[in-house]
Amino acid sequence: MNKLISPSDAASFVKDGMTLMIGGFLGHGTPERIIDEIVASGVKSLTLIVNDTAFPDKGCGKLVTNNQVKKLIVSHIGTNPNTGQKMNSGELEIEFSPQGTLAERIRSGGAGLGGILTPVGIGTIIEEGKQMIQVDGTDFLLEKPLRADIALIYATTADDLGNLIYMGTMRNFNPLMAMAADTVIAEVEELKPAGELSPETIHTPHIFVDYIVH
């Protein structure tokens, strides 16, 4: 199967009302070309599962700025003033999840688990509406798994099959998100023929990747 598609082809998979996971940390390790095409498409009412909303003109922040997002599941929004303004005006629903908890919720979604138990957030607004479970006398919050219709991720190097390598901190949420969505599209910097990547250097195996944007 030829997995190579164009950025506009990638954006065409995204429909109104879908839930997207988008990799990156303040835009580092984010598939910018695909996001630009989604912005141009005008698709709306998206739910984004992201670590942060980057900046107004960078990363998934461009989708927030362009009024294409209805809900965020996110660890922080402080670097994008547009996100805070939309939250305060009621235009945008935001579910805050502590960063480590967010990562584990995505991981559990990819692994087929029923959720995770964590003490993080007990006694704060994070616990509101969540189930408390006691284990050996200690209270934990049940944090439910997260999955998405589409994960948009970014890798430094890939081969034709879709095996991915991330350079340095570009790794961030990308490997976890590649396991937790129905369709996974990877934007990559460098594309090599199958067989040229050493197996021990691969971070995300090709079985998780449906399409590649070079």
Q: Which pLDDT belongs to residue 1?
A: 75
Q: Of 13-17, 125-129, 188-192, which range is least confident? A: 125-129
Helix (H, G, I), strand (E, B) or coil at 176: helix
- Identify which of 55, 45, 37, 41 has the alpha carbon closest to the alpha carbon of residue 20: 45
pLDDT, tens digit, 9 for 90 and up, residues 42-57: 999 999 999 999 999 9
Cα–Cα distance, 62 to 39 (Å, whole number): 7
Question: How far, in Å, CA of 183 to CA of 27, rounded?
Answer: 21
Mean pLDDT of 95-124: 96
Q: In three state form, how does the secondary structure of 98-153 look? A: CHHHHHHHHHHHHHCCCCEEECCCCCCHHHCCCCEEEECCEEEEEECCCCEEEEEE
The pLDDT of residue 138 is above 80: yes
Average pLDDT over residues 119-139: 94
Q: Has residue 213 got a pLDDT over 90?
A: yes
Does the pLDDT at position 62 exceed 90? yes
